[in-house]
Structure 1
Amino acid sequence: MADQRAELTWRDGQIPVSDRFDDPYFSLQNGLEETRHVFLAGNDLPARFAPRFRIAELGFGTGLNMLTVWSAWEISGQTTPLSFTSFEAYPMGRDDMARALDAFPDLTPWAERFLSAWQGGACDLSTLRLEVIEGDARKTLPAWSGQADAWFLDGFSPAKNPELWGSDLMQQVADHTAKGGTAATYTAAGFVRRGLADAGFTVARAPGYGRKRHMTRAVKE
């Protein structure tokens, strides 16, 4: 289990900001649309959805990314479980998650189902098999036996949280990606892109969301 929990300050009473990293958990403009742009479109989802599809993530945060893709999974007509594994060093409390997710009424049906069952760790919600692995991803990811078809790289800003973007961790991401799998992230930081490329991904810069000019997409050929 993680040694520490998320420490938060609330901006405008609605947007959680990490005290540890001085960074908001989601876009100040529209967190849901940013997630759809970066992590869904960035991984060619929902077009790639298929039974037994597996997603992995660095940084669970409020659960926004998971809920966004789970809702898209169900809306697209998938009826088998989506596998979603997230690595989180500083898990957020359930009540704080609920408060943050109130900002996204489009996701309320999924948020309510998730929060009613969530006690940390793992959760089986029929069309979703969720596992949140707590602790430093530099230690927990190498120990993970799974593989992902798509990665959501969503740690705090590389300038403020460089540990979650280092070349060794990007190599672990690649090592735990299926052939033809993808990764996407909101950042276009040069050292992140180089780390992904050195790990075996074909890396491309793409238009970012809102005020962010660029983001990164990667494919493991």
Structure 2
Amino acid sequence: MASPDQTPMLDWRDETIPVSRRFDDPYFSLAGGLDETRHVFLAGNGLPGRFRDGFQIAELGFGTGLNLLATLLAHPGPGHLHFTSFEAFPMAAADIARALQAFPEVAGIAPGFLRQWESGETTLRFPHLTATIILGDARETLPAWPGKADAWFLDGFSPAKNPELWSAELMAAVGRHTAPGGSFATYTAAGHVRRALAEAGFTVTRKPGFGRKRHMSVGVLQPSATASRMSPG
């Protein structure tokens, strides 16, 4: 699935938490990755309350697939969701399986995900959700994506350690690929990220973070931003 330069280099903390050597950052919160996903990405986007048939989630940073699995747990149906994730360094199924052992709640749905991922599939099918994992540098793949998200999970490694995934140019692309009334949520409250998202057309709000993180950021695309993209020129 991944070429050598795309393979993530991992260390393991407490034998269960993968840490990227490339970015010196863990893949999920040491205080509880599944709880963080629910607090930041689901609640931060007003989910699952906004789910409807055809609802589109997009994500920067697929990692272990934990956000996908949390979404599956939150959406038993009815209605079918679409989940698109952009990932430059896809993890091997065996490493994902090792990481997911920390979360007994996903044990019932993880095997179906892992079977598809191990077989090399990047379109993953579940009863009430279809996930598409787009491999490669998001700075190239996101601008080329034809979709528009109703909700964004901005979950790259720390802006201080992976600045490429938080640049003003990429945040502008996030704004262009957001549906009218669409939202974002992210664990970071870094000033330059918040400013970039505001410039991309979002109203940006700081909220209490998860665990040791004092703050996180959420936002909704302003109607004026949507209108300006639809106007001539």
Q: Counterparts in 2 of 1:1-221, with a 5 A limit?
A: 3=3, 4-74=6-76, 78-118=77-117, 119-221=120-222
| Distance across 2 between alignment mates of 1:40 and 1:116 | 25
| Distance across 2 between alignment mates of 1:120 and 1:65 | 18
Consecutive unaligned residues in structure 1, runs of 5 or more: none
RMSD: 1.0
| Distance across 2 between alignment mates of 1:107 and 1:2 | 25
| Distance across 2 between alignment mates of 1:198 and 1:150 | 18
Further displaced range: 110-119 or 53-62: 110-119
In the alignment, is the contact (CA less than 8 A) between 1:2 and 1:89 conserved in 2?
no
Which 4+ stretches in 1 moved above 6 angstroms? none
1:5 is displaced (CA, Å) by 1.2
TM-score by length of 1: 0.96
1:38 is displaced (CA, Å) by 0.2
Consecutive unaligned residues in structure 2, runs of 5 or more: 223-233
| Distance across 2 between alignment mates of 1:106 and 1:90 | 25
| Distance across 2 between alignment mates of 1:218 and 1:22 | 28
| Distance across 1 between alignment mates of 2:109 and 2:208 | 29
TM-score by length of 2: 0.91
Identity %: 62
SS of the equivalent of 2:108 reads helix
SS of the equivalent of 2:85 reads strand
What does the per-residue CA deviation read over 1:74-129, in whole Å, with 9 as the maximum and x for residues that have no partner?
A: 1xxx2332100000000000110111011100111111221122224112223121
| Distance across 2 between alignment mates of 1:123 and 1:208 | 30
In the alignment, is the contact (CA less than 8 A) between 2:44 and 2:218 conserved in 1?
yes
Structure ID, larger Rg: 2
